[in-house]
Structure 1
Amino acid sequence: MPPLRSAWQDVPRTRVRRFAELALDELPLLAEDIFREIRREYPNLAPTPTESGEPMALVGIRRALEHFVQHKAGEHDEAEDHRRVFQEFGRLQVMNGRSLDSLQAMYRMGVRMAWRRLAEIGQKVHIPAPAMYELAESGFEYLDGLVAESMRGYAEAAARQESERLRLQRRLLELLLAEPRPADPVRHAEALAERAARVGWPLPERVAVAVLVRPGREAVAPAVSGDVLLDMECERPRMVVPDPGAAGRPELLRRATAGWSGALGPPVPLAAAAASLRWATVAVRLMERGLLPSGELLHCTEHTEALVLLPPDELIDAVARERLAPLAQCGATHGRRLAETLLAWLETRGGAPEIAARLGVHPQTVRYRLRQIRDLWGDEVDDPDLRFELELVLRAQRLRGDLAAPAT
């Protein structure tokens, strides 16, 4: 199929050159009119001056118009400086905290004003209507190119800004979660306030620190709110949650971390954030050992027994070997049943019927086992310190799964 014939290319060259001459003569004034109208519609737009003192926007508008007219006249201007200007416009939007929406609206306004003036010039030199329609289409295509340049500048600036923000945020987290605690709390607080100010993070009174376990290498980061500090650069991502007791915060965290495993440390004063991180880390280690549930963000405050009893394995095991030594002579199965009965008695201090209901056995079975327990430990079983240690080690064994959980 032969290519479509260009109406603009059919216009005599002398007429095209005359159109370009008239347009180029009027472009400086047209650029000023467009710039003035933009300033009127967007009064809060602060003009950025060039080295010559002219507003950068005015220079960009004028150069873009000149380049477009020269291109359509067949005078190929290789200088593309105006494109860098439009990239800078995109960068400035990022620096001023604005989106590209207003910038694109300005561009469309400029194109409409330019088209009206170019149409008048086209009529004056008798450019046929089909050719002017084609010129209008070219103008909007040209606008798309300028928008693309601004988007490029915007994306580059946004990436640099985000990279810098993440760098500053990591420095804040390093200071916030550093151990041991600083020797000079006052200077530490001042440094913390300075780093927090640089990332726009209001210092809260209390925080909770979470440690996360990646569900996969390409997992999307949790969609936490802007006031939550999130460090995804660690092998186990860390998250600092301000004011964790605020209304609705637990539900928001649950939704944001859906699909992730992890642990949220206890709420602590800001200066003790490292302690919250420490407990969260302990909880994650227990999750990886299968001793705490995984698949969601668990709260350390809901698993205090496990966090207190399970981490000191060597100490608990040493106490267990000493205090549970009498069970060694009973055989594995019977020894475990006696241990479960002993723990139920220590926890309830109740009678045989209550302990039997807890264990799911007959009360007479409980009475028999309690007599055996007293035979094994003698009067020592009445000593408060021994009972405390026995309960500790037996609870730890139950948490590990060595003893059965209560029936009720």
Structure 2
Amino acid sequence: MTIIPTPTTPLDWSPPWESLPSDLSEALAPAVPGIVEKIIETVPRQIPAYASARGDGRYGDKLTLGVITALDNLLALPGTSRPALTAESRALVADLGAGEFRQGRSMDALLAAYRTSARIAFRGLSEECARQQMDLSVVVDLGESIWAYIDELSSVSAQAYAFEQSARAGVLELRRADLVGALVRGGVEEDELDRLSGAADWRPPRRLAVVVMPVASAPAVRAALGVSGLVVERESEATALIPAPERPGQRARMLRLLAGSGAVIGTSVDWRGVPHSYRMARTVALQRRSAGPDDGQSPLMAEDHLAAVVLGAEPLVMAELAERALAPLSELTEAKREVLEQTLLSWLSHWGQRGPVAQELGIHPQTVGYRLGRLRELFGDALEDPAARFDLELALRWRALSR
């Protein structure tokens, strides 16, 4: 359905055709067929978007009918105070503007056609006025009337074009959200993918990656990606599908494109692997969010944080492991527990070397020795058991990511 813009003419506005003689239409009628023919010949030749009208009989007929109707409406105005368009003609002009969008032509093409037609109409009608030796004031008022009439046609068509474009964009966004949602959920059959891709006007590339980012970053990323990717807002985050960067240069370009967005890019997959790429990106994004503010908001590649993905993949399992492995610290105050957890993780990471531990934590080596003595009291032989040390490091790294 085409939205018909309502008139916005000021109440005290007098149309220029009101001062024209009421019998002008009858006097100028002989010039109309030649003007129609000239417009139909000139518009497709001067405006490339309408070049196909010459070979398209149906569109040519429609163009002819439109030009004749527009001229008939114009020549019905002299000597009246009527608005440029009746309700019926307004609907026709609005439909023309909406149709331009549906046909894939720009609004600039239609406006150019209006301007070209106005020049031809004025030349043809003014020549007829001169042939009949009409007063110059008639020619001046006629020219003003033609341009006022064309302005109204242009305004109505442009508004209808914009309404159609907006409605189409809204529907397209819904279709694209359907496509992204289906791929993220997984289990899509190929024929269903074809249907969803066709409706969304976007075909997944051979290899793609899922990007998770804050909702606030979506508009800028959408503009930067252009037609190469899809960006949709999903609940508290935005999700994008992009061609996977498969070469070093592509990766660097993508990271520059996503700079400042706080995006996390999942691993490269085919369309069947989108759920996996999404889980990886979202896991790293959640851990990043829980770590606190990140002023730089640099994009991250999930494949560079695989250990974090593993630790975050099963939070309930990791919570149980941490509860068991770190049980000896449970009776301490929160502040003391956090200090000993940091010390123990640093000690495990540096293979028990006190110097690197002291340097990392910014404390004296004697303080490291004191804390290690306390840890040995609490954990006993577990600190000498490789399997127990592995569990402890996993639990401590998960705790650090979860804080």
From the CA coordinates, give the structure whose radius of gyration is larger: 1
Q: CA deviation at 1:212?
A: 4.0
Structure 1 residues 20 and 392: CA distance shift in structure 2, 3 A? same
Q: Which moved more, 1:60-69 or 1:36-45?
A: 36-45
Q: Deviations over 1:377-408 (max 9, x none)?
A: 4444222211110111122233345xxxxxxx
Structure 1 residues 332 and 129: CA distance shift in structure 2, 3 A? closer
Q: Deviations over 1:245-295 (max 9, x none)?
A: 53512222236x4xxx6644344332111122233444454456x335456
1:200 and 1:386 map into 2 onto residues whose CA distance is 54
Aligned to 2:9: none
2:313 and 2:28 map into 1 onto residues whose CA distance is 81
1:233 and 1:353 map into 2 onto residues whose CA distance is 48
1:90 to 90, 97, 107: 97
1:139 to 137, 141, 146: 146
2:101 and 2:308 map into 1 onto residues whose CA distance is 48
The one of the two structures with greater contact order (alpha-carbon pairs below 8 A, sep at least 6) is 2
Q: CA deviation at 1:134?
A: 1.8
1:25 to 16, 22, 30: 30
The amino acid across from 2:40 in the alignment is: F
1:223 and 1:390 map into 2 onto residues whose CA distance is 46
Structure 1 residues 22 and 330: CA distance shift in structure 2, 3 A? closer
Structure 1 residues 41 and 72: CA distance shift in structure 2, 3 A? same
1:129 aligns with 2:131: no
Contact 2:17 2:145 in 1 (8 A): no
* Count, aligned residues: 381
Q: CA deviation at 1:313?
A: 4.4
Q: CA deviation at 1:227?
A: 2.0
- Over the aligned positions, Cα root-mean-square deviation in angstroms equals 3.7
Identity %: 25
Q: Deviations over 1:127-157 (max 9, x none)?
A: 2212311211111011101112221331233
2:76 and 2:332 map into 1 onto residues whose CA distance is 101
The amino acid across from 1:357 in the alignment is: Q
Aligned to 1:231: 232
The amino acid across from 1:126 in the alignment is: Q
Aligned to 2:3: none
1:154 aligns with 2:155: no
1:33 and 1:234 map into 2 onto residues whose CA distance is 57
Q: Secondary structure of the equivalent of 1:226? A: helix
Q: CA deviation at 1:371?
A: 4.5
Aligned to 2:351: 349
Aligned to 2:318: 316
Contact 1:30 1:114 in 2 (8 A): yes
Q: Secondary structure of the equivalent of 2:363? A: coil
Q: Deviations over 1:173-219 (max 9, x none)?
A: 2331224x45xxxxx23432443244332422332323444459x98
2:14 and 2:216 map into 1 onto residues whose CA distance is 58
Q: CA deviation at 1:338?
A: 3.9
Bigger share in helix: 2
Aligned positions of 1:304-343 closer than 5 A: 304-310=306-312, 312-327=314-329, 336-343=338-345
Q: CA deviation at 1:300?
A: 5.5
Q: Deviations over 1:283-336 (max 9, x none)?
A: 454456x33545647535255454443564443343233323344577666555
1:63 aligns with 2:64: no
Unaligned runs of 5+ in 2: 1-11
Aligned to 1:173: 180
1:220 and 1:121 map into 2 onto residues whose CA distance is 56
The amino acid across from 2:95 in the alignment is: E
Contact 1:8 1:131 in 2 (8 A): no
Aligned to 2:291: 291
Contact 1:244 1:250 in 2 (8 A): no
Aligned to 2:401: 399
Q: Secondary structure of the equivalent of 1:237? A: strand
Q: Secondary structure of the equivalent of 1:254? A: coil
1:101 aligns with 2:102: no
2:15 and 2:96 map into 1 onto residues whose CA distance is 33
1:32 and 1:237 map into 2 onto residues whose CA distance is 54
1:226 and 1:10 map into 2 onto residues whose CA distance is 52
1:240 aligns with 2:247: no
1:94 and 1:164 map into 2 onto residues whose CA distance is 14
Q: Secondary structure of the equivalent of 1:268? A: coil
Structure 1 residues 364 and 312: CA distance shift in structure 2, 3 A? same
Q: CA deviation at 1:8?
A: 7.3
Aligned positions of 1:250-269 closer than 5 A: 250-254=255-259, 257=261, 263-269=264-270
1:232 and 1:325 map into 2 onto residues whose CA distance is 41
Aligned to 1:111: 118
